[in-house]
Amino acid sequence: MIDAQVARQLKSLIGARSWPLGSASSVVQTAGVVITTLQPEDLVGNIQEPFVIIGVGTGTADPTRPGLMRTNFEITTVQKTEGDEVAEAPMIGSGRVNIGQSEGQGVLVVHSQVMQAVNFKTAANGLPKFTLVRSTGAAPLFVGRTYYAMAKTVVSTTCTVAETYQEPGQFLAADATGGDATLTWKNPPSRYDFYQVRVQRAAGATAPATSTAGTNVYSGALETYTDSPTSGQFSYSIWAAYDETNTYDGGTASAEQKYSEQVTGTTSTVTVT
């Protein structure tokens, strides 16, 4: 994934996070997660708190792996409170009405939920593997009698210089009788621009080499399909389809525009009797 894809996936994950208890409201509104070079003080008063800033650092080329860049991402959470002379409330919280709402929660609690949304320990988050660089607080901002506290985590990951699109996994076409072939697979991790998978079929031992070659037998988001090609030998290929245009500004994926590559494990051949 290039740095822009990583940043958009971070924004999607954080914006989708809800409090696990109580009213289960959003931790941070989608509009409150911004990818920007601006500092928190530049956004105070222009965006609802709590808000999260995703900053993209300068990439460093990997000398041993051409085409890869090591890049830092800064995730900063900002929370506010009013009338606290020692600025403790924005850090640990005060006046919380509902455990499932962000109002009254301290920035440390909110930031914990933000980082749990990202969950760097699992590939299911649709992100490359991250390394924690550091986690810090910051001096509060004072605007009138309103206090803003911040918590920041810096993480590092390897980015590509060209866009990448994760392929489905564990693709298998099982031999069957009665003219049917049972196809199973694992969809790629959920990502902001993932739309659906596409399965193509061709007669013989050579699977379709492109997403439009052969016959399209399935397009959708399920992880199994029963094809009925009658009897004979048939080969299948599977691709993951992504939507760049409709998701560019935070919309929902609704069209096939980009496809994953054909790699080992994305083709399968069966004999149907």
pLDDT tens-digit readout, 10-50: 999 999 999 998 788 999 988 999 999 998 889 988 898 89
pLDDT in the model for residue 65: 84
Q: Please give the Cα distance from 88 to 90 (Å, whole number).
A: 6
Q: Please give the Cα distance from 111 to 273 (Å, whole number).
A: 57
Distances (CA, A) of 148 to 18, 110, 175, 223, 255: 22, 13, 62, 46, 41
Record the tokens describing residue 154, joined without a space. Answer: 């810096």
Q: Which of 171, 181, 235 is nearest to 205 (CA)?
A: 235
pTM to 2 decimal places: 0.89
Q: Which of 120, 119, 95 is nearest to 106 (CA)?
A: 95
Record the tokens describing residue 171, joined without a space. Answer: 């693709």
Instruction: Identify the three-state secondary structure at position 102.
Output: coil
- Give buried/exposed letters for 187-218 (b at 16+ CB in 10 A, else e): bbeebbbbbbbbbbbbeeeebbeebeebeebb
Would you say residue 255 has pLDDT above 90? yes
* Residue ranges in 25-153 assigned as alpha helix (H): 40-43, 89-92, 107-118
Record the tokens describing residue 217, joined without a space. Answer: 């037998």
Instruction: Identify the three-state secondary structure at position 264.
Output: coil
pLDDT in the model for residue 139: 63
128-132, 147-151, 189-193, 247-251 — which one is most confidently predicted on average?
Answer: 189-193
Would you say residue 238 has pLDDT above 70? yes
pLDDT in the model for residue 230: 86
pLDDT tens-digit readout, 45-104: 889 889 999 999 988 888 888 889 999 999 999 998 766 666 677 788 777 778 888 888
pLDDT tens-digit readout, 165-222: 999 999 998 877 788 999 999 999 999 999 999 999 999 999 999 999 999 999 999 9
Return the bridge partners of 272, or none: 176, 232
Q: Is the dihedral of CA 105, 108, 112, 118 positive or negative?
A: positive
Which phi and psi angles does 123 have, rounded to 5°?
Answer: -75, -10
Q: Please give the Cα distance from 227 to 229 (Å, whole number).
A: 6
Strand ranges (E), 161-266: 169-174, 181-186, 194-203, 215-220, 224-227, 232-242, 258-259
How are beta strands 181-186 and 169-174 bridged, if at all?
A: antiparallel
User: Which domains, from first to last, does the chain contain?
Assistant: 3-160 (3.30.70), 169-272 (2.60.40.10)
> Is-contact 185 238, C-beta < 8 A?
yes
